């Protein structure tokens, strides 16, 4: 549902007075300040895009846009590079005005080259005069001249919100912006800011060097910095003693809020501050109110730190975090190979119960016996137990490089990060499953007819399960299509096919002997799991299948 605030009262944004967010109607926030009213226009989001038609062309969609004015970090954990990645991860467009080029790595800062003030001004003009960013976020502003230039540009081209990360000293102790800029920060930039996000050292510097060690100190500092003029202050606690949680203190001129997350024990914290401020900016650009933007940003930093906890980049003390690791975990996953369908083991909770084994033990034994792919088909377990079992099986499958699919339950596949799903004709359509699971997960569809097989292809399935080839007790009221039906489905599709239904040691060769090139293997339930020893049965079936390929060749 789209809501538009048609008007943005822009020129008078930058006032130093407190504000109270008031929700006027869904999606439209009004912030009370010393001027009449200021609108942060909130818009509906679809696929992380704000549907904001450009005037005169209703078919075009403007994406939320953050302009970052910051320094380049050659190590790419902080600065401009962190801002670009954080905005990308949050689905927001990010343009860049570079104020300095730094030579940095995980050991520290080896050099700084400041971009001439008039060239910073030229970059600002290029972006602001044409591209209408919603929000400006600042990072390293290495000279008073650059601070003044920025303030001048913002007066000429006002934006909806200004996020100031008052970068001063790198974690390694290198000065990125010296004390000479403090006056221009206090007098010009901070009074224009919607939020300022100092870490402990920066908060201390802004207040003339007061020591800050505790959360109570952070509160006093937030209040004192608020008096300088920014509408909101977030004092970040990344540098609190490591024994303490990572607590940030937010002050909006009226109330204090503590944002607390457990401290993630990792050396990869370089760039957390830039990332936090960029994410706040990104959320504001999408239309969030300040408090929600800060909340989301804090959660995102925590998640990104946690994903990057163990990555090893560089030999120094403080590594970068990887903002897009979650995306990459799918991209880097071994791609689906049709050969995976060769010996496809499908679990069954009733059979496991009957033989007194857990799902995990059943899966372990099947893998050890040579199963090339596993599907968890658990019709009778509670969702929470299913999820736990899926996670446990996934660990085993990953170690052995065997894909794990979930039958029917897309929610369980998503929650466990399984490799994909297998769905039937009466489940969610495959194209909807694809939209939910993304491009990298495996989707298999049960098909009995060429029409269904064609639809599976159109819907973006990766393989077809076709059967029942023979009568089976595993599935009630399941029509048997026989070897002829299987062959018809195979010949009607480009997709790889796995045969299913009543297949075991005695008939696997007959199935594989059909000799259609896209028939990749057999899927079995009872022949493995309704037996005393899953391991032995899987081994035997593997031998039969190998034998059938020798005969075929
Ligand atoms: N180890 C950690 N675990 C969880 N959160 C952390 C950790 N370290 C920092 N944070 C969080 O990261 C955000 C950035 O805070 P921090 O104090 O590190 O900023 P910073 O010093 O400006 O960072 P940098 O200069 O490296 O970019 C805050 O929300 C803080 O609570
Ligand atoms: C360029 C740049 N900006 C900001 C920081 C603070 O993390 C850094 N280390 N380098
Ligand atoms: Mg910082």
* pLDDT tens sequence for the chain (553 residues): 232 232 222 322 333 333 333 332 333 333 333 332 233 333 333 333 344 555 566 677 889 999 999 999 999 999 999 999 999 999 999 999 999 999 999 999 999 999 999 999 999 999 999 999 999 999 999 999 999 999 999 999 999 999 999 999 887 778 898 888 999 999 999 999 999 999 999 999 999 999 999 999 999 999 999 999 999 999 999 988 887 889 999 999 999 999 988 899 999 999 999 999 999 999 999 999 999 899 989 989 998 998 888 889 999 988 998 888 766 666 667 779 999 999 999 999 889 889 999 999 999 999 999 999 999 998 888 999 999 999 999 999 999 999 999 999 999 999 999 999 999 999 999 999 999 988 789 999 999 999 999 999 999 899 999 999 999 877 667 789 999 999 999 999 989 999 999 999 999 999 999 999 999 999 999 999 999 999 999 999 999 999 998 776 6
Write the residue with the smallest CA distance to atom 7 of ligand 2: 271
SS (H, E, C) 138-187: ECCCCCHHHHHHHHHHHHHCCCCEEEECCCCECCCCCECCCHHHHHHHHH
How much is the pLDDT for 504? 97
Atom of ligand 1 nearest to the CA of 275: 27
**SS3 state at 68:** strand
Locate tokens 């908060």: which residue? 203
Write the residue with the smallest CA distance to atom 2 of ligand 2: 79
How much is the pLDDT for 328? 66
Give the distance, in angstroms, between the CA of residue 231 and the centroid of all CA atoms in the same chain.
30
Q: Is 170 in the pocket of ligand 2 (CB under 6 A)?
A: yes
d(CA 343, CA 73): 49
Q: Are 252 and 39 in contact (CB under 8 A)?
A: no
d(CA 362, CA 345): 10
Q: Are 344 and 497 in contact (CB under 8 A)?
A: no
Q: Which two tokens stand for residue 125?
A: 């003009």
Q: What is the dihedral of CA 153, 156, 159, 161, to 10 degrees?
A: 60
Span between the terminal Cα atoms of the chain, in Å:
59
Q: Is 427 in the pocket of ligand 1 (CB under 6 A)?
A: no
How much is the pLDDT for 42? 30
Write the residue with the smallest CA distance to atom 18 of ligand 1: 238
User: Residue 514 gets which letter from DSSP?
Assistant: T
Q: Is 77 in the pocket of ligand 2 (CB under 6 A)?
A: no
Q: Is 301 in the pocket of ligand 1 (CB under 6 A)?
A: yes
Give the distance, in angstroms, between the CA of residue 238 and the centroid of all CA atoms in the same chain.
22
Nearest ligand by distance to the CA of 111: 2
Atom of ligand 2 nearest to the CA of 102: 1
Q: Is 467 in the pocket of ligand 2 (CB under 6 A)?
A: no
Write the residue with the smallest CA distance to atom 15 of ligand 1: 238
Q: Are 521 and 372 in contact (CB under 8 A)?
A: yes
The one catalytic residue in 274, 393, 397, 447 is 274
Burial of 59 (0-12, 13-18, 19+ CB in 10 A): exposed
Q: Which of the listed residues 98, 100, 176, 270 should we mutate to test ligand 2's pocket, taking the one with most ligand atoms within 8 A of CB?
A: 176
Q: Which of the listed residues 82, 170, 236, 273 should we mutate to test ligand 2's pocket, taking the one with most ligand atoms within 8 A of CB?
A: 170
Active site residue 479: no
Q: Is 80 in the pocket of ligand 1 (CB under 6 A)?
A: no
Q: Is 51 in the pocket of ligand 1 (CB under 6 A)?
A: no
Please, which residues bridge with residue 465 across strands? 446, 498
Q: Are 98 and 107 in contact (CB under 8 A)?
A: no
Q: Angle, nearest 10°, between helix axes 79-89 and 272-286?
A: 40
The one catalytic residue in 149, 272, 279, 347 is 272
d(CA 284, CA 292): 9
Q: Which distant-in-sequence residues (6+ apart) come within 8 Å of 275 by Cβ?
A: 82, 83, 85, 86, 300, 301, 304, 321, 323
User: Residue 107 gets which letter from DSSP?
Assistant: T
């Amino acid at each position: 549902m789209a809501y538009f605030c048609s008007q943005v009262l822009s020129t008078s944004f930058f006032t130093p007075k407190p504000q109270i967010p008031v929700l006027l109607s869904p999606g439209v926030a009004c912030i009370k300040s010393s001027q009449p009213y200021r609108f942060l226009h909130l818009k509906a989001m679809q696929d992380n895009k704000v549907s904001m038609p450009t005037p005169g062309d209703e078919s075009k969609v403007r994406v939320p846009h953050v302009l970052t004015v910051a320094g380049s970090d050659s190590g790419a954990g902080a600065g401009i590079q962190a801002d670009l990645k954080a905005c990308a991860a949050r689905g927001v467009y990010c343009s860049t005005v570079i104020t300095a080029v730094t030579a940095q790595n995980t050991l520290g800062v080896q050099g700084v080259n400041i971009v001439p003030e008039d060239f910073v001004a030229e970059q600002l003009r290029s972006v602001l005069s044409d591209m209408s960013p919603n929000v400006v976020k600042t990072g390293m502003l290495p000279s008073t001249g650059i601070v003044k230039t920025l303030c001048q540009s913002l007066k000429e081209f006002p934006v909806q919100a200004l996020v100031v990360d008052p970068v001063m000293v790198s974690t390694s102790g290198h000065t990125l912006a010296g004390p000479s800029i403090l006056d221009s920060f206090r007098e010009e930039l901070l009074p224009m800011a919607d939020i300022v996000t100092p870490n402990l050292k920066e908060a201390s510097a802004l207040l003339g060097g007061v020591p800050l060690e505790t959360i109570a100190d952070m509160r006093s500092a937030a209040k004192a910095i608020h008096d300088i003029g920014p509408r909101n202050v977030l004092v970040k606690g990344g540098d609190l003693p490591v024994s303490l949680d990572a607590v940030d203190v937010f002050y909006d001129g009226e109330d204090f809020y503590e944002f607390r997350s457990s401290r993630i024990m990792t050396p990869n914290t370089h760039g957390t501050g830039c990332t936090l401020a960029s994410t706040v900016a990104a959320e504001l650009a999408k239309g969030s109110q300040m408090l929600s933007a800060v909340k989301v940003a804090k959660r995102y930093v925590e998640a990104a730190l946690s994903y990057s906890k163990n990555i090893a980049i560089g030999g120094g003390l403080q590594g970068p975090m990887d903002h897009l690791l979650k995306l990459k975990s799918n991209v880097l996953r071994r791609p689906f190979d049709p050969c995976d369908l060769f010996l496809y083991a499908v679990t069954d909770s009733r059979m496991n119960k009957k033989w007194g084994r857990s799902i995990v033990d059943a899966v372990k034994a099947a893998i050890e016996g040579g199963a090339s792919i596993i599907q968890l088909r658990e019709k009778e377990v509670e969702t929470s137990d299913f999820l736990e079992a899926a996670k446990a099986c996934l660990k085993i499958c990953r170690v052995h490089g065997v894909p794990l699919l979930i039958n029917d339950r897309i929610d369980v596949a998503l929650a466990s990060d399984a490799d994909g799903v297998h769905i039937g004709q009466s489940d969610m359509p495959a194209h909807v499953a694809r939209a939910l699971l993304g491009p990298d997960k495996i989707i298999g569809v049960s098909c009995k007819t060429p029409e269904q097989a064609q639809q599976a292809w159109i819907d973006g399935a990766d393989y077809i399960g076709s059967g029942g080839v023979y009568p089976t007790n595993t599935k009630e009221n399941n029509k048997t299509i026989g070897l002829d039906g299987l062959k018809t489905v195979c010949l009607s599709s480009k997709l790889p096919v796995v045969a299913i239904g009543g297949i075991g040691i005695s008939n696997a060769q007959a199935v594989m002997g059909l000799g259609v090139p896209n028939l990749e293997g057999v899927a079995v339930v009872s022949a493995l799991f309704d037996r005393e020893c899953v391991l032995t049965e899987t081994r035997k079936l593997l031998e039969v299948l190998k034998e059938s390929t020798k005969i075929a060749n």
